Structure 1
Amino acid sequence: MNWKTLSLLAALACSPALAQAETGKLLLTGGVSSITGTAGGGITPWAVIGSNATEGEWGASAFTTRAVTHDYALTSYGAALGWNERVELSVARQDFDAGAAVALNGIAPFGVQSGQHIRMDVLGLKVRVAGDAVLDADSWMPQIAIGLEHKRVRPGSLQSVFDFLGADTHGTDVYVSATKLVLDKGLLLNATLRSTRANQNGLLGFGSAAPGRNSRSLQPEFSVAWLLRRDLAIGAEWRFKPDNLQATGRAAGLGAALREDAWRDLFVAWAPSKNLSLTLAWADLGRVVPGITNNRRQSGAYLSAQVAF
């Protein structure tokens, strides 16, 4: 993936040729853009296909997100295309402010530069394989989708740390999501099961040298959203994570310095129009390399804006 790919999809997302004058999709039922670009909640994908397009239509969306915790910050932006309410292709670029990682030089001469950023590109594909969240709202059947997220990370001066940990700089997550909309109660429920080797969503690479875990593991993710009115929703997400690196750190005498925790958030999503949605959340990312942050939990504000056609 490169800047040309991102620019092309962003341009398509704003192209009136893709926009439909009116669609049958209800506000917020297509989700918002996650930090990896796919439609869903902020930190986990849903089975829905992004954009405002319904069957027989093309649609597109673009987003930008900013999250700030006690010691870190993440900026993410990207775009997605949806076709026929069946297929979604997404791209995203993440910029992670890992300035706190300079403290690793006190453990070993890693050569981590002050103010280091980690950048990651994500290419996503999602396909709806069964159900329809809106049309099946009065039955037990959820909408089901399978997807993948291919990620490539550029750690900069943290490459020596990745080498020490035995972490790869690229990997692919595969997931299946089931989304159930209880329309008469304004309730949306989602469960995702992810097969992954990613450390901190991939920002710390993929897998680990022994005795850490280098194989895939299955991690569940859950979301619930309640539509207070047609343009306003509140909800929560919980995303379990693999703890691939902790055993490697313990073997190196670092104790729980590399421990990885689950992510969770509480959010408010508002759609002032069919083409714009804003999401504000309080996110708790647990401990992110607690050995350099005095074991502080990384919690803070998350703000995201999406335009969709």
Structure 2
Amino acid sequence: MKQLSTAIALSAAALCSGALADTGKLLLTGGVSSIDGAAGGGLTPWATIGTNATEGEMGVSAHVSRATVTDYQLSTMGVAFAFNDRVEVSLARQDFNASPVTALNGLGFAVQDGQRIKMDVLGLKVKVAGDAVLNSDSWMPQVAVGVEQKTVDAGSITPVLDFLGAKTSGTDFYVSATKLFLANSLLVNGTLRYTSANQNGLVGFGSKDPGTNNASWVPEISVAYLLSKNIAIGAEYRAKPNNLRAFGMANGLGEGLQEDAWKDVFVAWAPNKHSSITLAYLDLGRILPGVTSSRNQSGYYLSAQFAF
């Protein structure tokens, strides 16, 4: 994981040198950086290929973000590389403050105070059909397929994942379709994700019986409206597989391992073609309600992206 952080830092430095794509796309039509590193909304990838690179160019982007909700905080940083406006490779590091999980120490665990969960995400996305801008006057969407390899370092929480039967690595596959109605300043994206991740992977992957250990398809939806050429507002919905619920019910935890869908409303501002800032209100439902008194996890998300 130290090597990944170094790679992200070096890539960000290379980005600042500026010897990359200089033509660029229409502002905000490529999306921003998701928490997993791929271009799209904050919570979900789109079929668009990130950075400012168009056909025949190479581009790079870097982002940092912070999400703060009722009981938890998540910081992310990452870089993405784009080739020929068709292939995108992304790297992201997530740092999750899991302090409330010390409540499990009453069950015999030894979670350290202030324990953080760190997850590395290596992503690959390939555009396979359509073009969001060039096909904006037809019903043909841009379509892309992607894969995200996730590896978790849970520290002193690892014995909890072992108890749940959750693995510390997993692979998500997804297909996204993005339709830009340029004349109406409207973008709609639908993503289907094949995943076994619990809380996006921060609580591992899969579950012991009678929980769900196999991956399943879950939907993700984004809608964005361009108020002007450099300001967009929108909303996202990301369904979750809820693998651990049955295991919790069978082991006397009630709804203590319930996982809810994630939702947000956002505003994104691009002051120029090389930068954007996204602010969102988050509603993440219950995250491990057994250790947070079933409180709804709502709050804000702030992200900055630089792209060439």
TM-score range relative to shorter protein: over 0.9
Letter in 2 for 1:214: N
The corresponding residue for 1:30 is 30
Q: State how far apart, in whole Å, the 1-side matches of 2:215 and 2:125 are.
A: 20
Residue 12 (structure 1) aligned with residue 11 (structure 2): no
The corresponding residue for 1:297 is 296
SS of the equivalent of 1:233 reads strand
Residue 245 (structure 1) aligned with residue 247 (structure 2): no
1:6 Cα deviation from its structure 2 partner: 2.1
1:269 Cα deviation from its structure 2 partner: 0.3
Q: State how far apart, in whole Å, the 2-side matches of 1:285 and 1:9 are.
A: 31
The corresponding residue for 2:150 is 151
Letter in 2 for 1:126: K
Letter in 1 for 2:12: A
1:117 Cα deviation from its structure 2 partner: 0.4
Residue 170 (structure 1) aligned with residue 172 (structure 2): no
The corresponding residue for 1:234 is 233
The corresponding residue for 1:54 is 54
SS of the equivalent of 2:183 reads helix
Q: State how far apart, in whole Å, the 1-side matches of 2:11 and 2:205 are.
A: 27
Name segments (4+ residues, structure 1) moved above 6 Å. Answer: none
1:252 Cα deviation from its structure 2 partner: 1.1
**Are the equivalent residues in 2 in contact too, given 1:87–1:127 (CA < 8 A)?**
yes
CA RMSD of aligned residues (A): 0.9
Q: State how far apart, in whole Å, the 2-side matches of 1:18 and 1:246 are.
A: 47
Unaligned runs of 5+ in 2: none
SS of the equivalent of 2:17 reads coil
SS of the equivalent of 2:8 reads helix
Sequence identity, in percent? 63
SS of the equivalent of 1:110 reads coil
1:12 Cα deviation from its structure 2 partner: 3.0
Q: State how far apart, in whole Å, the 2-side matches of 1:50 and 1:19 are.
A: 12
1:18 Cα deviation from its structure 2 partner: 1.4
Deviations 1:23-42 (A, max 9, x none): 3x100001000001100000
Q: State how far apart, in whole Å, the 1-side matches of 2:144 and 2:21 are.
A: 24
Aligned length: 306
TM-score by length of 2: 0.98
Give the alignment of 1:1-309 within 5 angstroms: 2=3, 3-20=5-22, 22-23=23-24, 25-106=25-106, 108-309=107-308
TM-score by length of 1: 0.98
Q: State how far apart, in whole Å, the 1-side matches of 2:115 and 2:249 are.
A: 25
1:10 Cα deviation from its structure 2 partner: 2.2
Unaligned runs of 5+ in 1: none
Letter in 2 for 1:78: G
Q: State how far apart, in whole Å, the 2-side matches of 1:11 and 1:289 are.
A: 38
Letter in 2 for 1:66: R
1:251 Cα deviation from its structure 2 partner: 1.2
Q: State how far apart, in whole Å, the 1-side matches of 2:61 and 2:237 are.
A: 24
Deviations 1:48-101 (A, max 9, x none): 000011000011100000000000000000100011100000000000000000
Letter in 2 for 1:8: L
1:250 Cα deviation from its structure 2 partner: 1.2
